[in-house]
Amino acid sequence: MGAIAGEELAKWEKMQAISGREEKILVLVRLRPLNEKEVSVNEVADWECINDTTIFYRNTLREGSTFPSAYTFDRVFRGDCSTKQVYEEGAKEIALSVVNGINSSIFAYGQTSSGKTYTMNGITEYTVADIFDYINRHEERAFVLKFSAIEIYNEIVRDLLSTDSTALRLRDDPEKGPILEKLTEETLRDWGHLKELLSFCEAQRQVGETYLNEKSSRSHQIIRLTIESSAREFLGKDKSTTLAASVNFVDLAGSERASQALSGGARLKEGCHINRSLLTLGTVIRKLSKGRQGHINYRDSKLTRILQPSLGGNARTAIICTLSPARNHVEQTRNTLLFACCAKEVTTKAQVNVVMSDKALVKHLQKEVARLESELRTPGPVSSSCDYPALLRKKDLQIEKMEKEIRELTKQRDLAQSRVEDLLRMIGNDQKPRKEGDDTWEDDYSVSESSSISVPHHHDARIRNFNNPHYNDGDQSDTDEYLDEDCKEVKCVEDESSRDKSEDLDQSRSDYGVLATGQEMLTSGNENGEVNHIQGNTTDGALEQRLHGVQMSVDSLVCTYPDERSPQAMSENMSNSRNMTLARSWSCREHLLTGSPEWARHLESTPANGFEKGFPGRPEGLPRKFPPLTYDAATRLSRNDSHSSIGSPSMDELRADSMRTSADDGITSIQTFVAGMKEMVKLQYENQAQQTDKNVKDVGIDPMLEAPETPVIWHLQFEKQQKEIVELWQTCSISLIHRTYFFLLFRGDPSDSIYMEVELRRLSFLKETISHGNHSVNGQTVTLASSMKALRRERETLIKLMQKRLSEEERRSLFKKWGIAIDSKRRRMQLANSLWSSIDLNHARESAAMVGKLIRFSEQGQALKEMFGLSFTPHHMKRRSYYWKNSKASLL
Ligand SMILES: Nc1ncnc2c1ncn2[C@@H]1O[C@H](COP(=O)(O)OP(=O)(O)OP(=O)(O)O)[C@@H](O)[C@H]1O
């Protein structure tokens, strides 16, 4: 038992090794003995098997030397060899491949009466017998044997298991090969059944008597045995797989010469068909023996069509060439040997045929799909042996992934741009000058309010989208920075309310919500200026929130310098202070802090620099978070350093000019002036918030903050305020530079109203302070003497600038204009002392122009005003809501 198992295992391993590999057709030669008839006529046997592989022609003298005398094949069998021996030593291995799932074919080829049928009958029976034996020895597997038989007679295919002589239709299946439709297939039950079927087929086959063979087969017969086997333990289960293969036993009709066969009539016709099909077979074999180049004429005969897989495809094939040794048939024998010689060069490529159950097939396919998908997702390393398909697949996947990323990034960029545009549009609408005659201010106001309230949500959404780490568009750096600063500003508010600095963006968003609530509280007063509805909300917390909101707004107002790292944003939003505040609020505040050490000294220099510290807008108990802006050199320098470059060349020029003015000549810089103005605005807001909270019932809306009702009224109001301011400047000995900046920057645009009002209030407070002899403001000494001293220094500086920056011609012209004799002494000092010496508005205008020219500011006034973000007042809004709206806008 053990030996048998070992032998079977060796066979199986051999089959596995053979599977899928090319293998030459096994060519066997069987030489039959002289038959009785041949002996009776004294035929001579000229052919002899001199060993197991070589057949030798002994009568070389008679045949001459034109043909070889020895032919070598895989195995040759002498006349006295039994069919059993031919089977065992020749065809058996090929035939029994079928039990291991490999197709096989055994041919018998030779002239008529050479022993083909005699041999094939034996081979078929021995094979089937061995198959039965194999089945019996492999009970672990379930076998199914199917038997079918056909004959090709006169190029007609007939089913030998059917009594119906109707021709079978032959068609080609792309997967299975040639298929005979309606072919009878009998499941083989046992040996007896086989014998029965074989007998039936024999009876059915066309047999005729010829001169050479009493029972000459007049057709090609193909008996096919199909074997399917499955492991019994997996039957009906998913794992069930079936080995399925067929073995063909092909008994060809014998070639014959009509002259030798002495046939006529039907036999002659049969012989013609036989010879024609055999000729095609020979041609196919010959072509195949030379390789597979060119066309193989399988379709030239039914025989070659049906046997195509066995001749060059998925089958192991053995051809048994049967020979008559008789000298009389030497020509036919040589032809057979030539055919055999060609056949032994033909190769086939057999493989194990595994048939899966439907379930197993589905499972297998699913696994295969999963494997391929996995391969697509994670392409394996490219082998060093240049696996080009894998390499291409990997590249394709990379391209696909990158294209996907590009699509995603493009989408994000478009979304971000869309949001930015929406915001800019909204802000632009707020800033759009109101047309004269437009009497729909209230409507505008409502819309504006609605828009402003929704701002935090825009902001929120934008943060979420712009924070995408994949977003790497060129504009994104600006935007990120923009948001970064924005977030810092929110943090600033949180710091002041003692919140945890580590709170994340979500918390910041909630802060916006709180601020919005506060804004609504303050902006929802009725037309009578009453804010009764917020009584219930005037808690310390609400006040703090409002003050935080104010501080955020003021921070943004104070720090309007465009970010040098964001030139695009700067240039685009040059005229929009609210946008600009977004860029610098926190960093500007740092500058303010760094500028503090020198402030006390300058407090004594010019009232405009320090008096605002005691401005009544500051509520008691609310300590300053940073000192007021001063005109000290350190501050100027720090700002110069931090704004060394700005986007557009024209603005760079303006800024540089302005910087030169302050840095080179000790003149207060425009930046410092602007910061100081905004500081005062801030203080005013703080005061307003405080007063509103303290006097909620009766304060209502501060009339000072009411916006002018019409352009005409505003113009009159502006002139009135301007005159008052000029008078107060004179009274309080305010810095000439401050006066010049203010006068040139605020020329009556409605957006100037806030600054006019704040300046007026500040000066009024200062005048009152001085008139009451109270020179101490928050511990700092303020005197007219110190102010006068500072003014003298300014005039001295202006004198130097006249010499430095004006030509002789210009100076003469100025002296003449200002009524100074051209030959008088100290003409420049006279001119300097004349500047800002009167409260007349025309005089003020001329003084501002003159000083502006000397400090090179006059030509740049409006541009600088816009550049530093002083033009932010929405024209059509009620003032009381205006500053809160700006607080909200600063969050954008
Ligand atoms: N090897 C052999 N030993 C003894 N007798 C044989 C052998 N081969 C063939 N014969 C006998 O020769 C005769 C013709 O054989 P067979 O019919 O098998 O030839 P064939 O090649 O099939 O001829 P055909 O092509 O005409 O059908 C038969 O009577 C057969 O018994």
Query: What one-letter code names the amino acid at 397?
Result: L
The ligand 1 atom at the shortest distance from the C-alpha of residue 216 is 26
Pocket test for ligand 1, best of 36, 112, 117 (most atoms within 8 A of CB): 117
143 bridge partner residues: 229
26 bridge partner residues: 318
Residue 217 Cβ inside 6 Å of ligand 1? The answer reads yes
- For 673-700, give the DSSP string: HHHHHHHHHHHHHHHHHHHHHHTTTTT-
Going by alpha carbons, the residue nearest to atom 14 of ligand 1 is: 113
Task: State the alpha helices, DSSP H only, in 595-669.
Answer: 599-603, 607-610, 633-642, 649-665
H or E element, residue 320: strand 316-323
CA of 192 to the centre of ligand 1 (A): 24
Pocket test for ligand 1, best of 28, 29, 31, 35 (most atoms within 8 A of CB): 35
pLDDT tens for 311-348 read: 878 889 999 999 999 988 888 899 899 999 999 999 88
Residue 324 Cβ inside 6 Å of ligand 1? The answer reads no
pLDDT tens for 128-166 read: 999 999 999 998 888 999 999 999 988 889 999 998 888
CA distance 506 to 544: 21
With pLDDT > 90 as the criterion, what percentage of the chain qualifies?
Answer: 21
106 bridge partner residues: 249, 318
b or e along 588-599 (b: 16 or more beta carbons within 10 Å of the residue's beta carbon)?
bbebbeebbeeb
Closest CA relative to residue 248, chosen from 349, 364, 148, 157: 148
Q: What are phi and psi of 871, to 5 degrees?
A: -100, 75
pLDDT tens for 71-109 read: 999 999 999 999 999 999 999 999 999 998 899 999 999
Going by alpha carbons, the residue nearest to atom 16 of ligand 1 is: 115
Residue 211 Cβ inside 6 Å of ligand 1? The answer reads no
CA of 107 to the centre of ligand 1 (A): 15
The ligand 1 atom at the shortest distance from the C-alpha of residue 112 is 25
Pocket test for ligand 1, best of 113, 277, 278 (most atoms within 8 A of CB): 113
CA distance 163 to 146: 19
Strands 104-110 and 316-323: parallel
Residue 113 Cβ inside 6 Å of ligand 1? The answer reads yes
Cβ of 462: how many Cβ atoms within 10 Å?
Answer: 21
Per-chain mean pLDDT for the chain: 68
Residue 32 Cβ inside 6 Å of ligand 1? The answer reads yes
CA of 115 to the centre of ligand 1 (A): 3
As a whole number of Å, the end-to-end CA separation of the chain is 91
Residue pair 160/150 in contact by the 8 Å Cβ criterion: yes
Query: Is residue 512 over pLDDT 90?
Result: no
CA of 41 to the centre of ligand 1 (A): 17
CA of 300 to the centre of ligand 1 (A): 28
Q: For the whole model, what pTM was predicted?
A: 0.46
CATH annotation of 2-355: 3.40.850.10
Strands 316-323 and 26-31: parallel
Confidence band, pLDDT 50/70/90 cuts, at residue 668? confident
Average pLDDT (438-466) is 33
Residue 260 Cβ inside 6 Å of ligand 1? The answer reads no
Residue 216 Cβ inside 6 Å of ligand 1? The answer reads yes
Residues constituting the chain: 892
Q: Measuring CA to CA, how many Å separate 868 from each of 391, 493, 587, 748, 871?
A: 58, 23, 15, 17, 8
Q: Which residues contact 106 (CB under 8 A, 6 or more apart)?
A: 91, 94, 95, 120, 123, 127, 247, 248, 249, 250, 317, 318, 319, 320
CA distance 151 to 157: 6
Pocket test for ligand 1, best of 30, 118, 211 (most atoms within 8 A of CB): 118
Average pLDDT (38-67) is 82
More confident of the two residues 433 and 162 = 162
Q: Which residues contact 288 (CB under 8 A, 6 or more apart)?
A: 296, 311, 312, 342, 345, 346, 347
Output the pLDDT for position 529: 36
DSSP assignment letter at 327: G
Tell me the two tokens of residue 90: 């020749």
Residue 312 Cβ inside 6 Å of ligand 1? The answer reads no
Residue 253 Cβ inside 6 Å of ligand 1? The answer reads yes
Give the sign of the dihedral formed by CA 522, CA 524, CA 530, CA 532: negative
Question: What value, to the nearest 5°, has the Cα angle with vertex 685 and ends 511 and 566?
Answer: 60
Output the pLDDT for position 716: 84
Tally the C-alpha atoms within 13 A of residue 3's C-alpha that lie toward its C-beta: 0
CA distance 529 to 527: 5
The residues spanned by each domain of the chain are 2-355, 413-497+507-517+533-890
Quick one: how far is CA 49 from the chain centroid?
75
